[in-house]
Amino acid sequence: MSDGPVRITGPLLAVLYALLAADGYELHGWAIMKTTGKSGPTIYKILERLAESKWVTSRWEDEAEPGKPRRRYYRLTPHGTSSARELIAARQPKPAQTVRARLAIGWCEA
């Protein structure tokens, strides 16, 4: 994938899921951290990589709430949205793979 993130990791996929779930709305970093359960440094490094790949855009809020720092908001670009959907679809286990994995660990639904 030359036009996107080089390393595809679980945290990257979690960030993409969160941004896709926002359905075109902006999310600030703290909201992405809470949604994914990942740490700030992890999230912001991923967002930086996604911005370099032009999958996300960002902007600073105009005015911060009194006593709070300004927030930076992130949103998937149209290219980022379609690429994220393709990437996630490619990473989804196929039904047969899921069944084999469940059987391999001894779990099976009756």
pLDDT at 1 over 50: no
Query: What whole-number distance in Å separates Cα of residue 33 and Cα of residue 51?
Result: 17
Query: What whole-number distance in Å separates Cα of residue 39 and Cα of residue 69?
Result: 18
Query: What whole-number distance in Å separates Cα of residue 48 and Cα of residue 29?
Result: 11
- Residue range 30-77, pLDDT digits in tens: 999 999 999 999 999 999 999 999 999 999 998 888 988 889 999 999
- 3.10.20.30, 1.10.3720.10, 1.10.10.10, 3.10.129.10: which CATH number matches 10-104? 1.10.10.10
pLDDT at 92 over 80: no
Alpha-carbon radius of gyration of the chain: 17
State pTM to two decimals: 0.77
Of 61, 62, 87, 85, nearest to 74 by C-alpha is 61
Sign of the Cα pseudo-torsion (42, 47, 52, 53, in order): positive
63 or 78: whose pLDDT is higher? 78
C-alpha distances (whole Å) from 42 to each of 46, 70, 110 are 6, 20, 39
- Residue range 16-41, pLDDT digits in tens: 999 999 988 999 999 999 999 999 99
